[in-house]
Structures are given as structure tokens and as C-alpha cells.
Amino acid sequence: MGKNKALEAIPANLAKKPKSRFEMVKERHRQTYETALSQGKVDLQMQPLCTFVTGTKDYFTSSCCSGRIMLLEKRGDKKLENFFHRKWHRNVLRIELLEGFNEMVLGELWFKLDPFILHIGCENIENANKVLFAMKNAGVKRGGVMVAQDGKFLIELLGTEQMGFPIKLGSKKLVDWKYLEAILPKANKMLSKNYRRIEKLEGEFRKALR
């Protein structure tokens, strides 16, 4: 009796049912995203898509990279032994590349173009399928559902534009500047194509993930 009375005393608008596990996870990812956004840590070319996904009812983004051109220094075989010598999430100028190329490194320096990568979370297989559908329509060929558990589905989406090759070993240049100069416009063009693919994906998400 006393219990029932206590329940009755709660106004209807406050007597919400408790949040589901998914709702809590989504809320946590929303906060992380908003913080990253306010700190300028979300790649510019990914912001419209990620902001849209974060605003939906059924989806969140857990991590993303818009794609980039970089000079990666490898000091060993493991990922932990890699260092960003230079990194650009946009088209690169000749002078920027030249400076990075001329600057001293210890390990093996690679010129790399990486495509976008994006992780989307949702609660069930029906919603995961909507992401796969949009992905296919946008012509995104790489990725898929990586985690498929009750209440927790994670989908990875990957672009395909890429390039990568060693250009320097310590102070020894393996290619000449003329070659890099000829490659840069190609890499910039591929990066732009990669960014157009993100825009297309955003368009498909807006249709499928309402």
C-alpha cells in the first residue's frame, strides 16, 4: 500500500521507464562526440555526417577519420613504432610536402594516402541492415558488421582510395623530389574523391536512417 502510494505521488512526466543499455551507450557516445567537436578534434570533412548520425534516434558514431595524406615514420614492424611525421586531412601543398620530405627522420618514411574510416553503432540487426543498405547505395565497398550482439551492433565503413610507399630510409632519400611532386596531384585528386564519397554516404544515411 505504502509503496503504491509512493508511486502515485510521482508526477506522470517524471515516471519515465529506465534507460535501456543502448540508450545509455548512445548518450555516452553523444557526449564524447560533442566534446570532440567543441575541441576541434573531429575531421572537418566528417562533421556533417557524424553530426547527423549523432542526432538520430537509433544510431551513434564511435570513431571516425575523414581520410588523410601523411608522412608516416616506421621505426619498427609494430603499429606502436609508427610516428606521424606529417598528417593532413585535406589537400596538400607542394611546399608542405617538400618540407616534410627534407626534414630529418630516424626510421623509414612512407608517403601514405588513407581512406575514410567510420564506426556506427546501433541496437539491433534491423537497424544495422539500414546502415549496410545505405553503404551499398553510396558505393562504399569495404566494411561490414564487426560486432553483432543482442543490443550492441557495430558497423565499420571504409573508403577504398589509397596509396602507400617508402620514400626515405633515415637520411637516405629513396625517391627523388621530382617523383613526389608528380605524385602529389594524384594523391590530392584521390583524397577529393574520398571526400565526395563521404558526402554521398551522408546523403544515403539521411534517406535510410531517419
Q: Footprint of a second copy on this chain (CB under 8 A)? A: 111, 125, 128-129, 132, 142-149, 155-156, 158, 162-166, 174-175, 179, 182-183, 186
- Of the two residues 50 and 157, which places its CB atom closer to a second copy in the complex? 157
Minimum distance from residue 146 beta carbon to a second copy (Å): 4
- Of the two residues 106 and 146, which places its CB atom closer to a second copy in the complex? 146
* Amino acid type, 3: K
- Of the two residues 83 and 179, which places its CB atom closer to a second copy in the complex? 179
Minimum distance from residue 7 beta carbon to a second copy (Å): 39
Cβ atoms within 10 Å, residue 134:
22
Minimum distance from residue 23 beta carbon to a second copy (Å): 22
- Of the two residues 76 and 144, which places its CB atom closer to a second copy in the complex? 144
Of 149, 162, 154, 150, the C-alpha closest to 131 is: 154
How many residues appear in the chain?
Answer: 210
Q: How far is CA 141 from CA 68, 92, 133, in A?
A: 19, 26, 11
Minimum distance from residue 110 beta carbon to a second copy (Å): 9
* HSE-CB of 84 using CA atoms within 13 angstroms: 9
At 210, is the secondary structure helix, strand, or coil?
A: coil
Q: For the residues of 147-200, what is the DSSP string, one character each?
A: EEETTEEEEEEE----EEEEEEETTEESS-HHHHHHHHHHHHHHHHHHHHHHHH
For residue 2, the surrounding DSSP H or E stretch is helix 2-9
Minimum distance from residue 166 beta carbon to a second copy (Å): 7
Minimum distance from residue 38 beta carbon to a second copy (Å): 30
Helix axes 125-137, 177-208, angle to 10 degrees: 130
- Of the two residues 162 and 188, which places its CB atom closer to a second copy in the complex? 162
- Of the two residues 113 and 198, which places its CB atom closer to a second copy in the complex? 113
